[in-house]
Amino acid sequence: MTIAEGDMVLIALPDGTDFIVQATNDGYVSTHMGNILFAELIGKEFGSFIDVGRRKAYLFTPGIVDHVFALQRKTQVVYPKDMGYILLMLDAKSGDRIIECGTGSGAMTLALARSVGKTGKVYSYEKNARFLKNAEENVRLLGLHDCVVFKNSDIEDGIEESNADAFFLDVPDPLPVLPGMISTLRGGGRFCIICPTANQVQDVLKELRKEPCTRINVWETFVREMKTNPDRFRPEDKMVGHTTYLVFGTRTIWKES
């Protein structure tokens, strides 16, 4: 695979720093190891390297997870440790219609968009116009804009879609929008609610008792990175202690009484 104009390229510096750029004929990225001209990337093979100063930087295809780590440096995002589990538990797949609120950094939008593909659709609600614009740009850069409909509005003002396959809810106060969220799902549709605090989970669990849903479960995820020296194999000294609790459930057609 050869890098063509317009391709997204991950430049992996030898010190572990990554840069994600678009290969164009002009412009450059300035790194602490020296400048890299975008034009230099075109025609190189993915997996090969370019020289940066006296060292080598590898050129790779950026993955969703690389984009997410890049976004993570700028804003609060859903962490990879949670993202993979959420996609699996929502059973996000080709052809699905999935509602997201709010868009935020757009990290989860990217992951959902790629899961539903061109035969599906992500409807992403966000009140903050600036957030929405950023997320739209990221989605466009990854060529996923056909898979997403962005909506600059508050879901408290209503959700236009119905019969959705899944709902991903990541808002500061999920309580008032729970009934609306459930009602947009088809029977068997799945939801995930981000709740950073125990108080929110407790409130959400109480509220969900009134709603037509079942198979409620709550999880925390952890990942622990290991040092890669085979002669001194051991976990890293620090790890992420908490990001959020994840509340999952499934829409029923009739409420259990």
Judged by CB under 8 A, which of 190, 193, 194, 211 binds its own copies? 190
151 vs 174, which CB is nearer to its own copies? 174
Distance, in Å, from the CA atom of 107 to the CA atom of 132, rounded to the nearest integer, reads 12
Any contact of residue 94 with its own copies (CB under 8 A)? yes
Residue 157 beta carbon to its own copies: minimum distance, rounded to whole angstroms: 26
Query: DSSP letter string over 9-38?
Result: EEEE-TTS-EEEEE--SS-EEEETTEEEEG
Give the total residue count for the chain: 257
Judged by CB under 8 A, which of 41, 164, 171, 201 binds its own copies? 201
Any contact of residue 1 with its own copies (CB under 8 A)? yes
List the one residue out of 90, 91, 89, 108 whose CA is nearest residue 100. Answer: 108
Residue 230 beta carbon to its own copies: minimum distance, rounded to whole angstroms: 4
Judged by CB under 8 A, which of 72, 85, 133, 141 binds its own copies? 85
Q: How many residues bind its own copies (CB under 8 A)?
A: 83
- Burial (CB count within 10 angstroms: exposed 0-12, middle 13-18, buried 19+), residue 163: exposed
Range 226-255, binding its own copies (CB under 8 A): 226-243, 245, 250-254
Q: Tell me how far CA of residue 165 lies from CA of 42, 48, 177, in angstroms.
A: 40, 41, 17
Range 132-161, binding its own copies (CB under 8 A): none
Judged by CB under 8 A, which of 102, 189, 193, 211 binds its own copies? 189
Range 206-225, binding its own copies (CB under 8 A): 206, 214-225
On whether the CB atoms of residues 166 and 100 are closer than 8 A, the answer is: no
On whether the CB atoms of residues 78 and 221 are closer than 8 A, the answer is: no
